[in-house]
Amino acid sequence: MDNLLELLVERIGEKRAEHSIRVMDTAVKLASHYSSDINKARIAGALHDCAKYRDKSYLLKRASDFGIILDKTMIINYQLIHGPLGAKVAEDEFGIEDEEILDAIRYHTTGRENMSLLDKIVYMADYIEPSRNFSGVELARQLAFKDLDESLIYAMNNTILDLIKTNKLIHLDTIKARNYLVSKKLYSSLNL
Amino acid sequence: MDNLLELLVERIGEKRAEHSIRVMDTAVKLASHYSSDINKARIAGALHDCAKYRDKSYLLKRASDFGIILDKTMIINYQLIHGPLGAKVAEDEFGIEDEEILDAIRYHTTGRENMSLLDKIVYMADYIEPSRNFSGVELARQLAFKDLDESLIYAMNNTILDLIKTNKLIHLDTIKARNYLVSKKLYSSLNL
């Protein structure tokens, strides 16, 4: 783990590595709370931003080197690329082979339809880690430990509202993730 | 046209037919403003709700009879079915063969990626027809005659916000429609 964090600082800088450690700690707490695999949460939390490079052209070059096919939204909102690229870098540079960890890294920004428990833990840990300081974060923190799916719907709704306010594209995976969770709640409330 | 409106009243009732006539009139104005085919706008406006039946089981039965495959969002938000079903009914019962008109009926509630001018006209006519009375409708009316794409982004943003507020599913076609229009504006502002 120490080696992994050292390499992380080297790749994305100290500030982003500090955020990663906070996400790692929060992911471990959530995994413990929901009886999920703590070691996987630790690694996925630590590495979720392992490809969040500052330099746009380097980000694009690496994505191209790995043969990642960018969808229309990622071409414009290129910051989204660090998710799928992160999964490749975690495998290639950090030696991670576990598909569940790689998926949690891949989808930590957009979410996806039918998210795994680890996906959800990393997504929410990134959203609520202690230094996050936006309006509504306290409610998100409470929800995350009370009803993980509800906290994801809350976080995704806020994300969609922000994207609308700032006139940005909305990634289809975020809508698919939210629709899936909203449908699940609806069906469970109908006892289906 | 008289026969068509008579048949429409018979199929969906007087109140919805009156709304349809207002949409038809608004669509004609928009078509004239944007030098689009006025006759197509008239027919698509008049028939956009031709399958908006009150009875849910009848709606589902007819959709099934036409072999319409319902996506996940339509299964839950069954009101959305009247779009694709409307295109089938317009063809089958009203004898409409023009694909552009049928598409404008099909996508008048969700929108779609890369909407045609007629799609846009019918979508906005339905949104701003004179009896519409929600907060923001005046701005939508002004935008529709000033910048049709901007008015669609405005209408779709409002629709997405409403769906979030009421905890409903968001149809992917609405996101695709909005993303397409937002990207187009972005590219044109960059002079690409």
CB contact under 8 A, A72 and B160: no
Q: What is the pLDDT of residue A153?
A: 98
Rounded to whole angstroms, the Cα distance separating A119 from A5 reads 21
The H-assigned helical ranges of chain A are 2-12, 14-33, 38-47, 56-65, 72-76, 82-92, 99-106, 117-128, 137-146, 148-165, 172-189
The ipTM estimated for the assembled molecules is 0.94
Chain A hits for B177, Cβ within 8 Å: none
Segment-wise mean pLDDT, segments of 10 residues, chain A, 192 residues = 90 96 98 98 98 94 96 93 98 97 98 98 98 97 98 98 97 98 90 62
CB contact under 8 A, B183 and A76: yes
Q: What is the pLDDT of residue A30?
A: 98
Within 8 A by CB and 6+ apart from B160, the residues are A160, A164, A170, B170, B174, B175, B178
Residues of chain B whose beta carbon is less than 8 angstroms from a beta carbon of chain A are 72-73, 76, 157, 160-161, 164, 167-170, 172, 175-176, 178-179, 182-183, 186
Q: Which residue positions in chain B have pLDDT lower than 70? A: 191-192
Q: What is the pLDDT of residue A85?
A: 98
Q: Please choose, from the candidates A95, A115, A121, the residue with its C-alpha nearest in 3D space to the C-alpha of residue A42.
A: A121
Rounded to whole angstroms, the Cα distance separating A119 from A181 reads 13
Q: What is the pLDDT of residue A128?
A: 98
Dump pLDDT digits (tens) for B155-181: 999 999 999 999 999 999 999 999 999
CB contact under 8 A, B157 and A164: yes
Å between B176 CA and nearest CA of chain A: 8
B34 C-beta neighbours (distance < 10 Å), count: 15
Å between A164 CA and nearest CA of chain B: 6
CATH of domain B2-189: 1.10.3210.10
Cα-Cα-Cα-Cα dihedral sign, residues A98, A103, A105, A108:
negative
pTM of the shown model: 0.95
Cα-Cα-Cα-Cα dihedral sign, residues A49, A75, B108, B121:
positive
Residue reference for tokens 């698509």: B44
Chain B hits for A179, Cβ within 8 Å: 72-73, 169-170
For the packed helices B14-33 and B2-12, what is the interaxial angle rounded to 10 degrees? 140
CB contact under 8 A, B76 and A176: no
Q: What is the pLDDT of residue B192?
A: 57
Alpha-carbon distance values, B112 to A71, B103, B123, B174 (Å)? 17, 10, 11, 6
Alpha-carbon distance values, B139 to A35, A59, B76, B164, B179 (Å)? 51, 41, 31, 21, 21
CB contact under 8 A, A160 and B157: no
